[in-house]
Amino acid sequence: MLVVAYIGFGNSVCRYHLPYVERRKDIIKVKYIYRRQEDRIGDEERETWYPDITFTSDIEQIMKDNEVNLVVVNTPDAFHVDYTMQALENGKNVLCEKPFAMTAKEAKRVFDFAKEKGLVAMSNQNRRFDADMRTVRKVIESGVLGEILEVESHYDYYRPSIADRKGFGILYGLAVHPIDQIIGQFGNPKKVVYDCRSIDNPGEADDYYDIDFFYDTMKAIVKTSYYVKLDYPRFIVHGRKGSFLMPSLGHQSAQANKPGPVEISFDPLPEDKWGTLSYIDEDGQDITKKVPTEIQDYGIIYDNLYDVIFNNGEKVVKDEEVIEVLRIIEEATKVAKEAK
């Protein structure tokens, strides 16, 4: 069984981990959540929502507990590597939130150390298991589109208030998701072309990006703008035999907070949230139909970790993929800083 200790008790743990882990009690036991004492002051009520979990401000209580075999790091980005290394040094496997590290070099150092210790360290690239990405993957892997020629991935918003924001971090906090989805699906590109900048604060922010990934005959585009007023498809996929459009579904981060543990629906989505597929079949017939949207399930990461740790399975998020994603984000950030 996976016996888990979380480091951090923010939105990520409550929304993207615990609701999915709750459905896997046959293989997962959450024993601890570590919080700094100053973070607990005035926020003790939330802890009572999870009576079966021990909340602690003593990190050594977790590190010295031999029953704990998986530490999940959910701290601010700058502390990811420090806590991951501490857990590895104490013989714990680690699942670390993204970005796994702030540089590709740091990530490689952590992965190398985990291998030396005979432990597993993996990045929680859970957005590979978003409902929309799972649906796109299913369509692509069905082969009905033939050879894939172009993929567009959009996280767009209409937030003119972005003009007041200066500073970097959107590439690390947001672009890390769609970049990983492309790398995870298609592998490392042969060439990457960057348009990363800020429309309002060029050279001082990274809130606009359009990054092109070139493979053999395929091109993938990852794009975000905060000046998109009309809904735009989340994914557009073109192949030699047809096309697929996946609408924007929104995300559970937009759901309002309410007292008590976060509840996640695993019910099928209505037809207006389905994708649209149009292709020429093997008989030359022109087929257009709606494709039911898959169910979002971030717990798949834990299923894989169980298999890797106990059955010597293969990581669903590979070390080299994490390193490549960080290398791309580093270069994208450099381009944004120079875009004046």
Q: Is 110 left (phi over 0), alpha (psi -120 to 50) or beta?
A: alpha
DSSP line for 8-48: --SHHIIIIIHHHHGGGTTTEEEEEEE--HHHHTT--HHHH
Both ends of the chain: CA-CA distance in Å? 53
265: exposed, middle or buried (C-beta count within 10 Å: 0-12, 13-18, 19+)? Answer: exposed
Q: Given this model, what pLDDT does residue 250 score?
A: 76
Q: Given this model, what pLDDT does residue 258 score?
A: 74
Q: Given this model, what pLDDT does residue 72 score?
A: 98
Q: Report angle CA 110, 301, 96 to the nearest 5 degrees.
A: 30
Two structure tokens written together for 98: 């993204």
Half-sphere exposure of 128 (CA within 13 A, CB side): 22
Q: Given this model, what pLDDT does residue 251 score?
A: 59
Q: Which residue has the tokens 């806590």?
A: 83
pLDDT in tens, the chain (340 residues): 999 999 999 999 999 999 999 999 999 999 999 999 998 998 999 999 999 999 999 999 999 999 999 999 999 999 999 999 999 999 999 999 999 999 999 999 999 999 999 999 999 999 999 999 999 999 999 999 999 999 999 999 999 999 999 999 999 999 999 999 999 999 999 999 999 999 999 999 999 999 999 999 999 999 999 999 998 999 999 999 999 999 999 755 556 677 889 999 999 999 999 999 999 999 999 999 999 999 999 999 999 999 999 999 999 999 999 999 999 999 999 999 999 8
